[in-house]
Amino acid sequence: MTKMKRKFTTTLDADLIKRMKIDAVENDTSVANLLEELIKKYLKDNVKVH
């Protein structure tokens, strides 16, 4: 079963965006996938389940 995804818009430092795009290309993925994995890791490591 595929989880539903929704569009999310935010503002980030231009250099961070550029670096993420480069890293995504080098790792054959997308910036969205990079961000999703980073957010999952952050939540797992830092946020207690309510």
**Is residue 18 included in any domain, yes or no?**
yes
Q: How many domains does the chain have?
A: 1
CB 24 within 8 A of CB 33: yes
Rounded to two decimals, the pTM is 0.80
Would you place residue 40 in the very low, low, confident or very high pLDDT band (cuts 50, 70, 90)? very high
CB 37 within 8 A of CB 23: no
**Is residue 23 included in any domain, yes or no?**
yes
- pLDDT at res. 50: 67
**Is residue 7 included in any domain, yes or no?**
no
> pLDDT digits over 10-35, tens only?
999 999 999 999 999 999 999 999 99
- pLDDT at res. 20: 97
**Is residue 39 included in any domain, yes or no?**
yes
Would you place residue 2 in the very low, low, confident or very high pLDDT band (cuts 50, 70, 90)? confident
Q: Which range of residues forms the domain containing residue 39?
A: 14-46
Distances (CA, A) of 45 to 8, 37, 41: 22, 12, 6
Q: Quickly list H helices, 1-50.
A: 14-26, 31-46
CB 23 within 8 A of CB 34: yes
**Is residue 35 included in any domain, yes or no?**
yes
**Is residue 3 included in any domain, yes or no?**
no
